[in-house]
Amino acid sequence: MAEFVTLDVDGGIGTIRLSRPPMNALNRQVQGELRDVAAAATADDAVRAVIVYGGEKVFAAGADIKEMAEMSAQQMTDAIGGLQAGLGAVASIPKPTVAAITGYALGGGLEVALGADRRIAGDNAKLGVPEVLLGVIPGGGGTQRLARLIGPSRAKDMIFTGRFVGAEEALRIGLVDEVVAPDAVYDAARAWASQFVGGASRALAAAKAAIDEGLDTDLATGLKIEAHVFASLFATDDRSIGMSSFLENGPGKAEFTGN
């Protein structure tokens, strides 16, 4: 059983909870547990959407620097694959995901949140990638996902300076999608995730794959990806249910099975 990362499923929503007090530092054990829990959320058909949450006070303040401080270049070369897989594990879940951010989301903590499809932050949130202040750079996907999300110029400003970004600036530059009171963060994330509990889960997974894979290539290849996943959905029960329901009852009334 995982010690620091758990998956709780309630009403079709899975909550991945980070719990390594006091600041949810993401050591190698936590990285491994994140991979395992993300795989569990992927495999569990009862989970239709996922929330990643660090608790009421902090999301995650970064990787465990004490653990990294004595590592050699060769040791980090051997470990970096696990680091990226762990901090990017949320991105591998083929279901709608949302990061519920309170307090600090720094370094590896922000990299975990960047793997989600949506980010909801408390107005007390502080986000940043301060690795340059330690003489390194983001290594858990931060240089890539941050630039794709907010653009290269803004990403370079954050990465080069290591500065913390407050919630309102984060909203303005697109780093987060919604800002609420800190004690409302989890409920806001749950409200967003609940939209997909009765949804066509295979269509949602296909949409996510088409967008994410398309962003990594040129437009022509992206359109081929879209065409492939679009056509594949015509083999699903939910496509038949959705179209029949639309013809008989109008839009928005289908009761999907997830098959």
Q: What is the pLDDT of residues 204-240, one digit of tens each?
A: 999 999 999 999 999 999 999 999 999 999 999 999 9
Q: How far is CA 168 from CA 71, 106, 108, 135, 177, in A?
A: 37, 16, 21, 28, 10
Label residue 48 by pLDDT band (50, 70, 90).
very high
Residue 127, amino acid: L
Please check whether the two domains, 5-194 and 201-249, share a CATH topology: no
Our answer to whether residue 131 is catalytic in this structure is yes
The first and second tokens of residue 68, run together, are: 């990294």
Catalytic position from the list 67, 70, 131, 169: 131
Q: What is the dihedral of CA 131, 135, 140, 142, to 10 degrees?
A: 50
For the domain spanning 5-194, the CATH number is 3.90.226.10
Q: Given this model, what pLDDT does residue 2 score?
A: 83
Which CATH number applies to 201-249: 1.10.287, 1.10.3470, 1.10.10, 1.10.12?
Answer: 1.10.12
Identify the bridge partners of residue 63 per DSSP, sorted by sequence position. 26
Asked whether the predicted pLDDT for residue 34 surpasses 80, the reply is yes
Tally Cβ neighbours within 10 Å of residue 222.
16
70: exposed, middle or buried (Cβ count in 10 Å: 0-12, 13-18, 19+): exposed
- Average pLDDT score over residue span 79-93: 96
Which sequence spans correspond to the domains of the chain? 5-194, 201-249
Q: Is 111 a catalytic residue?
A: yes
Of all residues in the chain, what percent carry a pLDDT higher than 70?
Answer: 100
Name the average pLDDT for the chain.
Answer: 96
Q: Which of 67, 111, 169, 255 is catalytic?
A: 111
- Residue linked to tokens 């999608």: 177
- Reported pTM: 0.95
Residue 64 pLDDT level (bands cut at 50, 70, 90): confident
Specify whether the CB–CB gap between 112 and 34 falls below 8 A: yes
